[in-house]
Amino acid sequence: MWRIKALWHLHCCVLAVCSTGGRPARTPVCLIRFFPELREAGGEPTYLIGIRQILDIVIYGGLAHGNPQRRIEGTMTEELSDRVAIVTGASNGIGRGIAEALAAAGAKTVLAARRTEMLQGVASGIRSAGALPVTTDVTREDQVVQLFRTTYETYGRVDVLVNNAGVPTHVPIEDITLTYWQEVLDVNLTAAFLCSREAVKIMKSQTPQGGRIINIGSVSAKTPRPDSLPYTATKFALQGMTHQLTMDGRKYGVVASILHPGATLSSFSTRRGRTKAGPGATPDDYVMAAEDVAKVVVLMCSLPPEVNLYEAIILPNHMRSFIGRG
């Protein structure tokens, strides 16, 4: 009976949020009714933690109908207040959105990228006092080692690594030079390896032990774009690296996940002329905001340490090149 009541109040929470256009003003009433009844029924079962995560998504995800700033402010749940997170490629685009969302959720967030001025601008825009910019070229082993050393010396641990840094490619295969191929692999794959290696070193030795590594892949790991051989190869390889990291990291409490975004506003899309997220000229021209992707990252980080959302794909509903044959 209490299960039925729990689901009913979950339904009420959804309706309350939807009826207010995503504003969480009425939601606390639902939560007050929902969780005490579960406690009176003998405690909150472990699997119902997932329901609480769904509530967070519904409550704060509803803010997607508002302006972008409120979308970030709406995730201020402090559910990651005891975590230390490193985000690579954090100076703009998806990396910036992820860094802002993690900080908004309470994490002490370390921002890594090559461009110092842009990185400091992102850090200053994050209201959390735990935003630490560390200028880093993630293709340089010595700089990656220093990034993790600085993080550990500042915060004493690393709980989350988001391997987001990457570069796109659009060159016919016959025109790809060996130098170009190696440069793409250095950023998209070798950098993720270097950062993951350093993260595991710390995660296995810290107390409490463990942590999460989240690799930002691409739907190109499922359906490639034309003339993108180096990019596609690295995203497929990143999928394999994620699998291996998860398998090898289990004994240390380290889990790895991969998130494949579809069309998202970033420096890549800006170069192609898209400067604003949202609808385009046709339904299949919709471009997601970085905040949309960031919410999935926050969800991955918010799960209990025994649970891993191993793989996720987030994309515009009308993204023809993935769902259809295009």
> Which residues form the catalytic set?
231
Residue 15 — left, alpha, or beta (φ > 0 → left; ψ -120 to 50 → alpha)? alpha
Q: CA of 294: how far to CAs of 216, 232, 256, in Å?
A: 11, 22, 16
**What tokens appear for 9 in the block?**
């109040």
Contacts of 152 (CB under 8 A, 6+ apart): 158, 202
Q: Which residue has the tokens 């929902």?
A: 34
**What tokens appear for 275 in the block?**
């400067």
**Hey, which bits of 21-179 come out as E strands?**
84-88, 108-113, 131-135, 160-163
d(CA 148, CA 81): 20
Contacts of 262 (CB under 8 A, 6+ apart): 219, 288, 313, 314, 315, 316, 319, 322
